[in-house]
Amino acid sequence: DTAVSQTPKYLVTQMGNDKSIKCEQNLGHDTMYWYKQDSKKFLKIMFSYNNKELIINETVPNRFSPKSPDKAHLNLHINSLELGDSAVYFCASSLSSGYTFGSGTRLTVV
């Protein structure tokens, strides 16, 4: 199926750990994104990559590091996890028009 797929779907981890979330799209899109959705359901852009180049880096702590090995992948690595990092993280991709979102990764830091 053509889609934006994220893994894992759920992630529970302790404070201080380092974790990664993977994202892949097979839609041929050239731009990929990471969004964070907080407990109040507000979607906030974190990063955007176009053709493997970082084009947007919002005010996100440098504990968050995106990595794009190729146009179809944008992974998110988080160091030294904190309680406040608990949220749902969405990957998305686009070409020239609309967005396609992944199903989200629910991260819980305990």
Which residues in this chain contact another protein in the complex, by CB under 8 A?
33, 40-43, 45, 48, 55-56, 90, 92, 97-104, 106
Nearest to 48 by CA among 62, 63, 30: 30
Where residue 63 falls (left for φ over 0; alpha for ψ -120 to 50; beta otherwise) is alpha
Cβ-based neighbour number of residue 107 at 10 Å: 21
Specify the residue, 15 or 27, whose C-beta has the smaller distance to another protein: 27
Specify the residue, 10 or 18, whose C-beta has the smaller distance to another protein: 10
Specify the residue, 16 or 42, whose C-beta has the smaller distance to another protein: 42
Min. distance of Cβ 16 from another protein in angstroms?
Answer: 27
86 token code pair: 């608990």
Min. distance of Cβ 41 from another protein in angstroms?
Answer: 6
